[in-house]
């Protein structure tokens, strides 16, 4: 598994985290930071929230360490699950 992708099973959910280099407008090179997006699905394929088969969490804070950004994204996903998938 790539350092920039992480999958976690948290029954009955699957958390998929995709991290990427952050680019700033006007810069040819990445900033050296990483940000991550999260997709939460159910292991059984049933809807996760209301009638949606996935719940997405847009990018969070940017970190220099890719492991830290993956850890932060997982924490945000687990918080969303614990809070019943709040509307944002």
Q: What is the pLDDT of residues 24-79, one digit of tens each?
A: 676 666 667 889 999 999 999 999 988 999 999 998 888 988 899 999 999 999 99
pTM metric for this prediction: 0.85
pLDDT at 3: 59
Distance CA 87, CA 64 (A): 29
Provide φ and ψ at 24, rounded to 5°: -105, 140
| pLDDT surpasses 80 at 81 | yes
Separation between Cα atoms, residue 88 and residue 83, nearest integer Å: 12
| Domain residue ranges in the chain | 5-82
CB distance 61 to 35 below 8 Å: yes
pLDDT tens digits along 3-12: 589 999 999 9
At residue 31, the pLDDT reads 66
The single residue listed with the structure tokens 């969303």 is 80
Closest CA to 36 of 3, 13, 79, 14: 3
């Amino acid at each position: 598994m790539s350092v920039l992708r992480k999958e976690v099973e948290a029954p009955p959910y699957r958390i998929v985290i995709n991290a990427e280099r952050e680019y700033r407008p006007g810069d040819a090179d990445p900033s050296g930071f990483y940000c991550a997006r999260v997709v939460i699905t159910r292991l059984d394929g049933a809807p996760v929230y209301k009638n949606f088969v996935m719940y997405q969490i847009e990018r969070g804070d940017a970190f220099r360490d890719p492991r830290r950004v993956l850890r932060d994204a997982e924490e945000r996903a687990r918080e969303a699950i614990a809070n019943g998938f709040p509307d944002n």
